[in-house]
Amino acid sequence: MTLPPEKRRRRVPHQERARALVAAVLEASAHVLEVHGFEGATTARIAERAGVSVGSLYQYFGTKESVFDALTAELIERLLLAAAPVVAEPGGDVEDRVERALEAAFKVIAPYPTVLRQLAGATGTAFEARLRVFRLHAIELVSALLAGSESALDPDEAAIRARMVVNASEGIVLNLTRADDAARIARESSRMFARYCAA
């Protein structure tokens, strides 16, 4: 989905200092979103938390929505990069591969349950569309992993199980709280889904 011009990034950071500024803004946006919610997350609060001027923020982001769209893209990219090595392995035990891929993915997103809930609940936005596309991509990846393992499932069965795993994983992550032992939940969930996929 293409963002309207006012919601796109204004400039692309090429120099190290500019990339560091954008990274600081994205990290700050996650904190501000968690503390203040979507409505209360202003560019002024994000800039203050990042230790940059609002003007510097606006050099790279046109609106708070473009900041959160970039944050969503960053989290998705990190999640996919974490799971990619396992998905790319040819053959292998399906239970082991699913468990390792999901555990790697959970480790990336588990620290951000409130942020993910806020972004997932922002209906009618660019990041809602980005999350929808990501969900479909994740289903394709898990389906390919299941179809390409030693005990390969037929494509239809692999697609159904992949959809169940992705949707249930999303539900688990969106219901995590700061008080939860995210690492343990990630481990147990990964094992549970791996056994389901291998059954």
What pLDDT is attached to residue 57? 95
Rounded CA separation 188/199 (Å): 17
Residue 77: CB atoms within 10 Å: 12
Tell me how far apart the alpha carbons of residues 172 and 158 are, in angstroms, rounded to a whole number. Answer: 21
CA 171 to chain centroid: 13
Per-domain boundaries in the chain? 5-65, 71-198
Residue 147 burial by CB count (10 A; 0-12/13-18/19+): exposed, middle or buried?
middle
What percent of the chain is modeled with pLDDT above 70? 89
Q: How far apart are CA 104 and CA 107, in angstroms?
A: 5
CB-CB neighbours of 154 under 10 Å: 9
Topology at the third CATH level for domain 5-65: Arc Repressor Mutant, subunit A (1.10.10)
The model's pLDDT over 33-47, given as tens digits with 9 standing for 90+, comes to: 999 988 899 999 999
CATH architecture of 71-198: Orthogonal Bundle (1.10)
- Grouping H, G, I as helix, E, B as strand and the rest as coil, residue 9 is strand
Percent of residues in the chain assigned helix, strand, coil, to nearest 5 = 75, 0, 25
Distance CA 85, CA 57 (A): 34
**pTM of structure:** 0.79
Tens-place pLDDT, residues 117-149: 888 777 666 777 888 888 898 898 888 888 877
**pLDDT at position 177, please?**
77
Read off the tokens for 140.
């394709």
**Cα angle for residues 161, 129, 97 (degrees, 5° grid):** 30
